[in-house]
Structure 1
Amino acid sequence: MDITHLETLIENDQLAELIALLSQQPQLAVQNTSHQISPILLACYYKKPQIAQAIAEFVPELTLFDACAIGKFEDVTLLIFKNPASVNEYSVDGFTPLGLACYFGHEEIASFLVLKGAEVNVPSKNGFNVFPIHSAVAANNFTITKMLLDAGAYPNVCQKSGAAPLHTAAQLGNIELIILLLEHGAEVTLRMEGGKLPADLAAEKGFHEIAEILRDDD
């Protein structure tokens, strides 16, 4: 059996089979997948946190990126202590530790990374131009989004698609996030590629009251 079998078990959420496989071949836990990322990161991207935690049990020492993705605060603090400069390094798939912590909603880790000098206004290095604030809003996380804005995150940065954080918050229908972004200077007139405004995305999802609020200044 090889790494592709492990990938299948991750994708299909087969926890017992995965543990049995790694018990026999623990080296698979630290082998890069066909996606060129670790099995832990793959499990996180598939939204399989239990699987990711199980894989971590077979990893002698987590990387900073894996620790940020699965929420291992003690591992993160130790790794940053050993190598402070790593706080602004990039994973193989182009994300910073802060970007991963934000996307997977680990508030304590995200705050710690910012405290230790993580840049809040740097995009991913993978062509998608995703900033930490995009990841925080995509995770529907008010606490991390506020922490980033308070730390100086720009509210109107755009991903490759032209989507700003307000577009995502509007699509999610999260009025608290929308108000937070507006209070920090988010612009309702920003258009994505194709011309859609945040109000348009809210309306498409059936959030008509929110759409009206976002059209007020249009």
Structure 2
Amino acid sequence: MNGNEAFFNEIRNGDFSKVKDILEKKPALMNSKDPRGSTPLILAAYYGHKDIALLLLEMGAQVDAKDASGNTALMGVCFKGYKEIAKLLIEKGANVNERNTMGGTSLIYSVTFNRLEIAKLLVDNGVEKSIKDSRGNTAMDHAKMQGRPALINLLEEDS
């Protein structure tokens, strides 16, 4: 296992002190990518390690960096349901309207995976509700297809 693989494993495992030590010695790893194109921030967010995500952001990690599929850290937490990390990413400037290679957005992910609190956070932070994915569906379309009344109500507000 090379040093970069070990670094990414420490992030996945959530070992804050080891990640911090590695970054202090090799700060260039902050915006490096693993074989799937994920950055350290994307991995920290996806695995729910808010402390590591905050460290990376404070060190200047690119908040809207994308993996090989065009997903950002914010999209990952909308999929996984980590509201506090979503809030942190938005506070640090994440683009709530960023799109992946399939046209998906954080709002579409939060609706698809029934993450009402994160969808509300996105709406409260000015997310564009009318963005369509590559199949021509908006977040509202996904909410209706999946029978999610609370999300439908949220998306209807101030439309």
Taking structure 2 as the reference length, what is the TM-score of the superposition?
A: 0.92
Please name the residue that 2:59 is paired with: 116
Give the CA deviation at 1:154: 0.4
Please name the residue that 2:104 is paired with: 163
Q: CA RMSD in A?
A: 1.9
Please name the residue that 1:8 is paired with: none
SS across alignment from 1:79: helix
Poorly superposed stretches of 4+, deviation over 4 Å:
none
Report the number of matched residues: 159
Give the CA deviation at 1:181: 0.5
Please name the residue that 2:6 is paired with: 63
Q: Deviations over 1:54-92 (max 9, x none)?
A: xxxxxx997221111121111101100111121111112
Please name the residue that 1:101 is paired with: 44
Contact 1:173 1:207 in 2 (8 A): yes
Give the number of the structure with larger relative contact order, counting CA–CA contacts within 8 Å between residues 6 or more apart. 2
Please name the residue that 2:115 is paired with: 174
Letter in structure 2 aligned against 1:103: Y
Letter in structure 1 aligned against 2:105: A
Name structure 1 gaps, 5 residues minimum: 1-29, 32-59
Contact 2:116 2:150 in 1 (8 A): no
SS across alignment from 1:63: helix
List aligned pairs for 1:176-215, cutoff 5 A.
176-215=117-156
Contact 1:188 1:215 in 2 (8 A): no
Letter in structure 2 aligned against 1:134: M
Alignment of 1:73 with 2:16, yes or no, is yes
Whole-angstrom CA distance in 1 between matches of 2:157 and 2:19: 43
Contact 1:62 1:75 in 2 (8 A): no
Contact 1:172 1:202 in 2 (8 A): no
Please name the residue that 1:44 is paired with: none
Percent identical residues: 26
Q: Deviations over 1:79-131 (max 9, x none)?
A: 0011112111111221100011111111111111111111102212x2x1111
SS across alignment from 1:167: helix
Name structure 2 gaps, 5 residues minimum: none
Give the CA deviation at 1:177: 0.6
Contact 1:190 1:197 in 2 (8 A): yes
Alignment of 1:131 with 2:75, yes or no, is no
Whole-angstrom CA distance in 1 between matches of 2:16 and 2:119: 29
